[in-house]
Amino acid sequence: MSRRDTRGEPQLPGPEWPVYNRSMNAGMPTPLEELLTYSQRPQLSNATMLLAFTGWMDGGDVSTGTIQRLVDLVDAKPFAELDPDPFYIYNFPGSMEMSALFRPEIKVEDGLVASIELPSTKFYASDEHDLMMFIGKEPNLRWRTFADCLFQLAHDSGVTRILFVGSFGGAVPHTRDPRLYTTCSQPELLSEMEQFGMRRTGYEGPGSFMSYLMSRAEDAGLEMVSLIAEIPHYLTVTNPSSIEAVSRRLAKILQLPLELDELRSASTEWELEVSSAIDENVELVERVREYEEAYDNELLGIEPEVDMMGPDDLGDVDGLILDDLGPDE
């Protein structure tokens, strides 16, 4: 039978049982059965589950933007959704500004509530390409149960590998491809990812749900890798250029014949708009030039001389790059 911890949170069978063997606890509800709603069942084999989360590692909308683009390109269909209620905070104590980051978006028209937008936790699948994709908000609560649900769904659906796409801001110019990093659940996966031009991650600091999931993947009988893009820290809007670059690399990893010409065209147009806006700020023009020189020297094996700088070092740069520089929908 299933266990409950002291907080009353449902758990999958403990390590003394085969974790994902349903036959051993037939008829007993698991977190997956309680929290997941299916509209259909995908037919997958040796599949990859792609994960995208808003928030912590979605700078430039690279995580969600890349996976949403892939959903569109392979015509993946939604097939399941997790109940968001156990996993998200809707009312965070503190100032209105802080609390607003957690509250659901609502729309009121003519005195009536027209809509309320709770966190989306949708799963998509492409049977043709043996792909499962998840786009949602990083959970605030019950990481263990959320992970249990992902692992259970992976095993039930023929998924053998999980691949997370994310991003962070760094000293990369918008005129160059993002640097790509990887973290892996097993040592042998590192050399595989390095064949696609990805560097090994080195980091110490606040962790993400992705890192928690990675720490448990091998024990759950799954492979897990991440594709993390270092993107320009001085741009805080949707970054179609980085989304296009990550999509190209992802297509190679997954061996997918994706048609990316439209995305590349949008990327080029966006880069020109950004460069035009930056030309109005002499300090930023110089900083971008230094980033370009350091980036190019690194490719040539020359020790970079430019120091990493944070967003605060450029004053009102964020105000320079306007929201309307994002891609047209």
Predicted confidence (pLDDT) per residue in 87-105, tens digit: 999 888 878 888 888 888 8
- Residue 179 has which token pair? 């640097």
Overall average pLDDT of the 21-48 stretch: 72
| pLDDT, position 146 | 94
Cα gap 49→124, rounded to integer Å: 9
| pLDDT, position 305 | 59
| pLDDT, position 56 | 82
104: left (phi over 0), alpha (psi -120 to 50) or beta: beta
* DSSP assigned state of 198: P
Whether residue 228 has pLDDT greater than 50: yes
| pLDDT, position 31 | 53
Whether residue 50 has pLDDT greater than 90: yes
Reported as a pLDDT band with limits 50, 70 and 90, residue 188 is: very high
Whether residue 263 has pLDDT greater than 70: yes
Whether residue 196 has pLDDT greater than 60: yes
**Lowest-pLDDT range, 30-39, 41-50, 168-177, 306-315?**
306-315
CATH superfamily, domain 3-84+119-262, is PAC-like subunit (3.40.50.10900)
Relative to beta strand 77-82, strand 121-126 is: antiparallel
Whether residue 21 has pLDDT greater than 70: no
* DSSP assigned state of 230: E
Whether residue 8 has pLDDT greater than 80: no
Render 97-134 in DSSP notation, one character per residue.
Answer: HHHHTTSPEEEEETTEEEEEEPPPEEEEEETTTTEEEE
Whether residue 182 has pLDDT greater than 90: yes
Reported as a pLDDT band with limits 50, 70 and 90, residue 304 is: low
Contact 329, 191 (CB under 8 A): no
Considering the chain, tell me which residue range(s) the CATH 3.40.50.10900 domain(s) occupy: 3-84+119-262
Contact 183, 201 (CB under 8 A): yes
133, β-bridge pairs: 50, 124
Whether residue 192 has pLDDT greater than 90: yes
- pTM score, two decimals? 0.81
Owner of token pair 């299933």:
2
Whether residue 118 has pLDDT greater than 80: yes
Q: To the nearest whole number, what is the mean pLDDT of the chain? A: 83
- Residue 252 has which token pair? 């190679």
